[in-house]
Structure 1
Amino acid sequence: MKQIIAFTGLPGTGKSTLAEQLATETGVPAFAGDWLLGALRPHGVLGGLERPAFLAMYYDLLGTLIERQLMLGQSAIVDCLVSAEIAERWEELAVAYGGRLRIVECVCSDEDQHRRRLHGRRRGIPGWHEVGGITWSGCGVSTPS
């Protein structure tokens, strides 16, 4: 059965690592929005975009690649943040092609390890920024009180 397997979670929780490992082991292509945007950035396409337009483009690019895989009778692995709205859209897309959506939420429960992952992160995506310099609060992590 064709599947969309989406790895989601905060930066540094391992979603890219898991998506890439699954893709390597299964031969199913993995798509990551950061790689797509890294390819567009040098061409000035992203400059001046308001956040809503930026996110719409981001998810439409991924959705187009996913749909193409489903059209070919194949599955797709996706590495990105998945909101309820995107999950609903991709679930409808999967069903339209006789497939299923599977969402894997990645969480790093060790706060110190999560901080180390963010601090030392070097993904090497051409044209795209590293997120290693973001603050702990800037990545959306809340520390329990």
Structure 2
Amino acid sequence: MLIVMAGLPGSGKSSVAEALGRRLVAPIVSVDPIEAAMWRAGVARDQPTGLAAYVVAEAVAGGVLSLGQTVITDAVNAVGAAREQWRSLAARHNVPVAFIEVVCSDPVVHRRRLEGRSRGIEGFPEPTWEAVERLREEFAPWTDHRLVLDAVTDVSSNVTVAVEFLATVS
């Protein structure tokens, strides 16, 4: 199965992805560290490294799927093209795809989490609240069936709900 995490920066999607990955014993392919690695390797930041990171994540996730294993991707997935990329990958490997969007319904909590986090991704600056707000306005409406989790709920409870949801995806 291909599990696609989605949501704004700081919403809690990576925390849910990590806990879900531990619970399912499934690898996580995260776009942000891939993009940061490109920059550290000397690829200029004015190049389309964001898009490239999604393409690299797709290749890595495809390799995991070809081994017959479940994989979790962790990215904002704000636009239809990104979501289509994952649908297409799942179709090529003949596996189900499950979208899980993580939101934070409390903007005060969301902003505090964003501004207080330090993920330790070398060379990757955390986005500002203003950048997240701009991205929220650009976030494409969903057409895919998905599970929406609210990060004001504790991670453990959200993972339990996610596992129950994944059991229904075929």
TM-score for both structures, normalised by structure 1: 0.84
Which residue of the other structure, out of 53, 66, 70, is the alignment partner of 1:71? 66
AA of the residue aligned to 1:70? L
Q: Which residue of 1 aligns with 2:100?
A: 104
AA of the residue aligned to 1:71? S
Deviations 1:55-93 (A, max 9, x none): 331211111011111111111101101122222222122
State the number of aligned residues: 134
SS of 2:103's equivalent in the other structure is coil
Shift in CA distance, 42/98, structure 1 to aligned 2, threshold 3 Å: same
CA RMSD, 1 decimal: 1.6
Q: Which residue of 2 aligns with 1:139?
A: 132
5+ residue gaps, structure 2: 138-170
How far has the Cα of 1:99 moved from its partner? 0.3
- The alignment status of 1:120 with 2:130, answered yes or no, reads no
- The alignment status of 1:85 with 2:78, answered yes or no, reads no
Q: Which residues in structure 2 correspond to 1:8-87 (within 5 Å)?
A: 8-49=6-47, 53-82=48-77, 83-87=79-83
Could you tell me how far apart the structure 2 residues matched to 1:38 and 1:54 are? Answer: 9
* Structure 2 contact 9–76 (Cα < 8 Å) conserved: no
TM-score for both structures, normalised by structure 2: 0.72
Higher RCO (CA 8 Å, separation ≥ 6 residues):
1
Q: Which residue of 2 aligns with 1:95?
A: 91
Could you list the runs of 4 or more consecutive aligned residues of structure 1 that deviate by over 3 angstroms after TM superposition? none
